[in-house]
Amino acid sequence: MGEGPGMEETAGDMELYDLRVSVDRIEGRSVCGMAVGDYFELTDSAHLRLPDGKHFCVYALASVLPFLAAKQRDLAAGDWLAQDALFACPDPEERLIMRVERTRRRRMNSADLT
């Protein structure tokens, strides 16, 4: 197995990307108490990780959640989701914009997942 960020692991029958979802900008007022740079990580297919002592607004999470499974996988070059990385929270007062970035390609065993 590979070690360290960005290293590809060699065991397994499928590949997924770990993701980081971060607050890119807030174009309105910060209603939920988050700030630019706040983030969560999605690792090992389904592990949601937050930095100690931090939070992430559940409504912002709900708006980006439907896209995360697709962003974890390789996409066709012409797929719009392969091109776009920005997602908006639905709160019109806040206008919080999140960026989804791939942080690591991980080889996994599909039998270990549901």
Report yes or no on 37 lying in a domain.
Answer: yes
Helices (H) and strands (E) in the chain, counts: 2, 5
Sign of torsion over alpha carbons 91, 93, 97, 98: negative
Report yes or no on 51 lying in a domain.
Answer: yes
Whether 50 has a pLDDT exceeding 90, the answer reads yes
Whether 37 has a pLDDT exceeding 80, the answer reads yes
What was the pLDDT predicted at 113?
Answer: 63
Tally of structural domains, the chain: 1
Q: Which domain holds residue 45?
A: 14-112
Report yes or no on 7 lying in a domain.
Answer: no
Report yes or no on 67 lying in a domain.
Answer: yes
Mean pLDDT calculated for residue range 94-107: 92
Whether 73 has a pLDDT exceeding 60, the answer reads yes
**What pTM, to 2 d.p., does this model score?**
0.82
d(C-alpha 38, C-alpha 13), whole Å: 33
Whether 14 has a pLDDT exceeding 80, the answer reads no
Report yes or no on 1 lying in a domain.
Answer: no
Report yes or no on 59 lying in a domain.
Answer: yes
HSE-CB at 90 with a 13 A cutoff on CA atoms is 7
d(C-alpha 39, C-alpha 55), whole Å: 8
Report yes or no on 33 lying in a domain.
Answer: yes
Mean pLDDT calculated for residue range 65-87: 89
